[in-house]
Amino acid sequence: MRNLLPLALAASVWLSAADISRPNFSGTWKMNAAKSSFGQLPRPLEYERHIDHKEPVIQMTVRQVSPMGEQSVDAMVRTDGQPTTNKYRSGEAKTTAEWAGRELVVTTTRPMEGGDVVTRETWSLSEDGKTFTSITHLKTPRGIFDIKLVLEKT
């Protein structure tokens, strides 16, 4: 009987992990400015993400409008921990992403004058699939910032 207990516990952990239903982030998502928080950073006038999520690859177009104008960026992220490289105006960025239960943790490092910018985003999707929340911890040569971005499916 004692020899079966470790086996039963291992099976229970394996079944619990297998039962985790990972969200699919596909869709067009627009910022809900009232629910988002940018701390000391200026809030964009508009922000949207168009995501095509076919596990383990996420293709994404981010569009942002600020008082300085509009910019759009295309990026790819892999959810299996394999690094990807994406090109931005400031140079290339290296990104890795891994599942932590139902949340996706996306870490990106890109060069900036004076040092690297490192962002760690935690993505989550509401149970009804209509609200996408991204909590970002941003380390830059100019300081550390935290952002809460709440996006709603259109």
Q: Does the residue 90 lie in any domain? A: yes
Asked if residue 18 belongs to a domain, the reply is no
Cis peptide before 6 (omega within 30 of 0): no
Give pLDDT, residue 112: 86
At position 29, the amino acid (one-letter code) is: W
Tens of pLDDT, residue by residue over 94-129, are 999 999 999 999 999 998 888 999 999 999 999 999
The pTM score is: 0.84
Weakest-pLDDT range from 2-16, 85-99, 111-125: 2-16
CA distance 55 to 97: 12
Supply the pLDDT for residue 5: 47
CB 74 within 8 A of CB 60: yes
> Is residue 39 included in any domain, yes or no?
yes
For 20-43, what is each residue's pLDDT tens digit?
699 999 999 999 999 999 999 999
Total domains in the chain come to: 1
85 neighbors 65 (Cβ within 8 angstroms):
no
CB atoms under 10 Å from CB of 118, counted, come to: 15
In a domain, 8, yes or no: no
What tokens appear for 139 in the block?
Answer: 């380390």
- Residue 17 in domain: no
CB 32 within 8 A of CB 38: no
Here the tokens at position 6 are 């470790």
Whether 15 is covered by a domain: the verdict is no
Residue 4 pLDDT > 60, yes or no?
no
Q: Which of 117, 123, 121 is nearest to 144 (CA)?
A: 117
What residue numbers bound the domain in which 95 lies? 23-153
Residue 4 lies in a domain: no
The CATH number of whichever domain residue 82 belongs to comes to 2.40.128.20
